[in-house]
Amino acid sequence: MDRGLFLLPSRIGLDVTRRQALGFISHAHMDHVAQHAMALCTEPTARLVRHRLGNVSTKIMPLGESIEVAGLKLTALPAGHIFGSAMVYAQHDKGTVLYTGDFRLGPSATAEQAQLRSADYLIMECTFGHPHYRLPPRDTVIEMLLEKIRAAFRRGATPVISAYVLGKSQEVTRILTSQGIPVLQHPDIYAISQIYEEAGCELGDFRPYSGRPIPGCVVIVPPKPLTPGILPGAVHVEKFHVTGWALDKRRKGTAPNEHWIPLSDHADFDQLIHAVEEVGPKTVFCTHGPKSFVEELKSRGHDARWLE
C-alpha cells in the first residue's frame, strides 16, 4: 500500500517522499520532496529541489494564482516556513481543502508571510501542538540573539550558529546582516544561499567560510557536534542553537553551556489554534505533531482527527 497524503480523485501526492505521477511539494526540505514525474511547486522551491535531487520536471505554481490540474483547481498560498514554501488550496465540486505543509504565521526575513484561506477541510501540520510551545514574540527573540552575539564578540569569541542548511541558515543570515553583522557560511549552506539570491531573496553581507574565522563575523554551520579544531585559528568559540526546540528543557540539557535561541520556522501552539479558527473548517486533520493536539481542538468544539 502506498502510504501518504493524496488529493482524490486526482491522486495528487501531498509532500509524499516517493515518486508519484503528480506530486505537490510544499517546500524543499528533504522530508517533503521526491523526484516526481511532475512536481507542483513554486519557482524558488523548484530551484531548490533541483539543487538537492537533480533534474525534476516541475509545473510552477505562482503564489495566489489558480491552476487546473487533473480536474482540480489548485492555488498555492504562502506558508511562511522558508523561502518559496507554500500551502495548497484545492477546489472541487465536493468542497474545498487547505493543506498547510509546514507553516508559520507572522513576518519572516526570507519567507513570504503565510496567507490562510477559509476551507471545508483543513489538513495541518502541528509540530508544536503542545501548550508548552508558546514562543516569545519574534522581536524579543531576535533581540535576544543579537545581544548574545554582540556579547560573544566583546568576550573575544567567535559565535558559531548551528542551523539547518536550508531555511534557518538563510533566515538567520538575513537577520544578522540587516543589523550590520557579516556572516561566514559552511559551503553547503553557501550553495543554497546562492540559489536564494538568484531567485530574488537577498541575504546581505555573507560569504563562504574559507577555513579560518574573521573577527567580527558570525559563522553558520550545519547542526552537528562542534568538535575541537573545527574552526582553525579560533581561540574561543561560543555555539548557538536557533530553533523552536530551545523551549524543550531536555534538548537544552544536552548542551547546557551553549546558547539556545527560540527562533522557529514552525507555528507555535497559539498560532496553530489561530489557524484553525481563521480557516473555520468542518473538519481538521492533524499530522506531524502530538496527538494530544487533536483532543485540545475537540475541547474547543472542533471536529478534529489524527492522520497516521
24-to-17, 21, 51, 67, 87 alpha-carbon distances in Å: 10, 10, 17, 13, 9
State the Cα–Cα distance between residues 191 and 129, nearest whole angstrom: 33
187 with 125, same domain: the answer is no
DSSP code string of 193-206: HHHHHHTT----SE
pLDDT above 90 coverage of the chain, percent = 85
Q: What is the pLDDT of residues 26-78, one digit of tens each?
A: 999 999 999 999 999 999 999 999 999 999 999 999 999 999 998 899 999 99
Average pLDDT taken over every residue of the chain: 93
270 with 125, same domain: the answer is yes
* Burial class (CB within 10 angstroms; exposed 0-12, middle 13-18, buried 19+) of 103: buried
Residue 12 in this model has a pLDDT that exceeds 60: yes
Average pLDDT over residues 132-161: 96
Residue 1 in this model has a pLDDT that exceeds 50: no
* Burial class (CB within 10 angstroms; exposed 0-12, middle 13-18, buried 19+) of 288: middle
Q: Can the peptide bond before residue 9 be classed as cis, meaning omega within 30 degrees of 0?
A: yes
User: Which phi and psi (to 5°) does residue 37 adopt?
Assistant: -60, -35
277 with 255, same domain: the answer is no
41 with 123, same domain: the answer is yes
87 with 204, same domain: the answer is no
Task: Among 243, 261, 279, identify where a domain stops.
Answer: 261
> What is the number of structural domains in the chain?
2
Spatial CA neighbour of 4 closest among 19, 20, 16, 21: 16
Q: What is the pLDDT of residues 197-254, one digit of tens each?
A: 999 999 999 999 988 888 999 999 998 766 555 666 666 889 999 999 999 888 877 7
69 with 158, same domain: the answer is no
State the Cα–Cα distance between residues 205 and 179, nearest whole angstrom: 10
9 with 125, same domain: the answer is yes
Per the structure, the complete domain to which residue 204 belongs is given by 138-261
Kindly state the helix (H) or strand (E) to which residue 163 belongs, with its residue range: none
Q: Are 125 and 101 in contact (CB under 8 A)?
A: yes
State the Cα–Cα distance between residues 165 and 44, nearest whole angstrom: 16
234 with 285, same domain: the answer is no
Q: What is the pLDDT of residues 272-295, one digit of tens each?
A: 999 999 999 999 999 999 999 999
13 with 115, same domain: the answer is yes
248 with 144, same domain: the answer is yes
* CATH number of residue 241's parent domain: 3.40.50
pLDDT at residue number 227: 58
pTM of the model: 0.94
pLDDT at residue number 232: 65
* CATH number of residue 119's parent domain: 3.60.15.10
96 with 163, same domain: the answer is no
Beta strands 183-185 and 95-99 are: unpaired
pLDDT above 70 coverage of the chain, percent = 95
106 with 214, same domain: the answer is no
Top pLDDT among 8 and 216 is at 216
pLDDT at residue number 161: 95
State the Cα–Cα distance between residues 292 and 308, nearest whole angstrom: 13
